[in-house]
Amino acid sequence: MEKQEYLELYGQMVIIRLMEEEAARLYQQGKIGGFLHLYIGQEAVSTGLISARQPQDRVITAYRDHGVAVNCGLPVDKVMAELLVKLQASLKARAARCIWQM
């Protein structure tokens, strides 16, 4: 891999961490209902996994999947909107609270 690719992957991990920290803050304020399983500390897992997948590969997640959604190309604002129950489904994935299929 080239240095630029490493920097892009690092950037994805930082974005996921910031998103998760904001989700934690909103959860503590009571703006996100139910349970919130954060992805903090696991950003490298989905970033590495998704960067290595082939076009024919499918991604199915269970929970703690907000980072996976971002790695697969869902915009952070769509993920946050779903967490805040402002969206029932994103444009690129079928969603049921905390379950994404990409």
pLDDT tens digits for range 55-79: 899 888 877 888 999 999 999 999 9
Backbone angles phi, psi at 94, to 5 degrees: -90, 130
Q: Give the SS3 label for residue 76.
A: helix
Q: Which residues pair with 60 in a beta bridge?
A: 101
Other CB atoms within a 10 A radius of the CB of residue 80 amount to: 17
Q: Which element (helix H / strand E) includes 99?
A: strand 99-101
pLDDT tens digits for range 15-41: 999 999 999 999 999 998 888 899 999
**Which tokens in the block code for residue 32?**
């996100």
Look up the pTM and report it.
Answer: 0.81
Other CB atoms within a 10 A radius of the CB of residue 1 amount to: 8
